[in-house]
Amino acid sequence: MTSLDKLIQEFLEHLEIEKGRSMKTVQNYDFYLKRFCKWAGAKSLKDITQDTVRQFRLWLNRSVKGRDEKTVKSSTQNYHLIALRSFLKYCAKRDMTCLAPEKIELAKQPSRQVEFLEADELKRMLEAAAKTNAILGLRDSAILETLFSTGLRVSELSNLKIDNVNLKRDEFTVRGKGGKTRIVFLSDAARARLKAYLDKRTDPSPFLFASHDRAKAGRQTGPLTPRSIQRLVERYALAAGITKKITPHTLRHTFATDLLRNGADIRAVQSMLGHASITTTQVYTHVTDKHLREIHKKFHGNV
């Protein structure tokens, strides 16, 4: 009988090769599955039972410390279950006797609240970044404008290379989650900021957004990491007097919110965000509430 460890390794390779999942996703699945096996002492598929999974869920919910909370979030608990369910589905397709994947139900989660920037907050952030024409100021301003213009994920932005972006066409193709490609578009402001930044550059780095402080330290100029981009977004939010937590993903939320508030079709927004499912995009529909109130006031009760 194939050992559970070997089966998991084959499953992870299947995710990487056949499914085209990113290495980060593969690493996460590896962590979740190994955490379950270690806790359960599972050595074979027969050790994965419905009761074992239930006890594991209780353990996650009661005993595992979260990053910022006493226990891990329900969404994180669900990630463990999704990994386990995907693994069992893989085993079932190979005609192995195992717990039916559909017997693992995910925990119900509260409606997700999306944090986004209001127009005046976004304006203040962009103005804070545009105060200097030094190379770092031009870069940071271009980053903020590009994030708002395209709705890119921070990892997608970090991996962009200069050759990827066509400033003449104001659009380019990006490879997102699962290796899927989509077209994103540049606003006039984003294109102008990118051009100003690139015209100032003299380094040989092929990446669109380079870590220029490395060059000053005598090291090779590399791309800005997602963490570095997050820090600079936080810095400009603070400079703009914004007290709520702002991340690069907040600008992605703001991008989607702005489109919907201005009448964009949700299917179009789904495509521009690169969401595989319309359900993911529907988290933004609450932002149209204000628009609906305006319509109600305008067209209802005028008798």
Catalytic residue among 21, 124, 139, 153: 153
What is residue 290's predicted lDDT score, i.e. its pLDDT? 60
Q: With H, G, I as helix, E, B as strand and everything else as coil, classify residue 190.
A: helix
- Whether 43 and 3 have beta carbons less than 8 Å apart is answered as yes
Sketch the domain layout of the chain as residue ranges. 4-103, 119-294
pLDDT higher at 261 or 103: 103
Can 252 be counted among the known catalytic residues? yes
Catalytic residue among 21, 57, 191, 275: 275
- Whether 253 and 121 have beta carbons less than 8 Å apart is answered as no
CATH annotation of 119-294: 1.10.443.10
The third-level CATH classification (topology) of the domain covering 4-103 is DNA polymerase; domain 1 (1.10.150)
Can 249 be counted among the known catalytic residues? yes
pLDDT, tens digit, 9 for 90 and up, residues 113-132: 778 999 999 999 999 998 88
Catalytic residue among 35, 89, 177, 261: 177
What is residue 2's predicted lDDT score, i.e. its pLDDT? 65
- Whether 72 and 60 have beta carbons less than 8 Å apart is answered as yes
H helices of the chain, in order, are 4-17, 23-40, 50-63, 74-93, 119-129, 135-150, 154-159, 188-200, 212-216, 226-239, 248-261, 266-273, 278-281, 289-299
Can 298 be counted among the known catalytic residues? no
Burial of 230 (0-12, 13-18, 19+ CB in 10 A): middle
Residues in the chain: 303
Rounded to an integer, the average pLDDT of 86-109 is 93
Q: 220 phi and psi, to 5 degrees?
A: -65, 135
Least confident of 80-84, 155-159, 181-185, 279-283: 279-283
Can 153 be counted among the known catalytic residues? yes
Whether pLDDT at 289 is above 80: no
pLDDT, tens digit, 9 for 90 and up, residues 136-179: 999 999 999 999 999 999 999 999 999 999 888 889 999 888 77
What is residue 114's predicted lDDT score, i.e. its pLDDT? 79
Can 62 be counted among the known catalytic residues? no
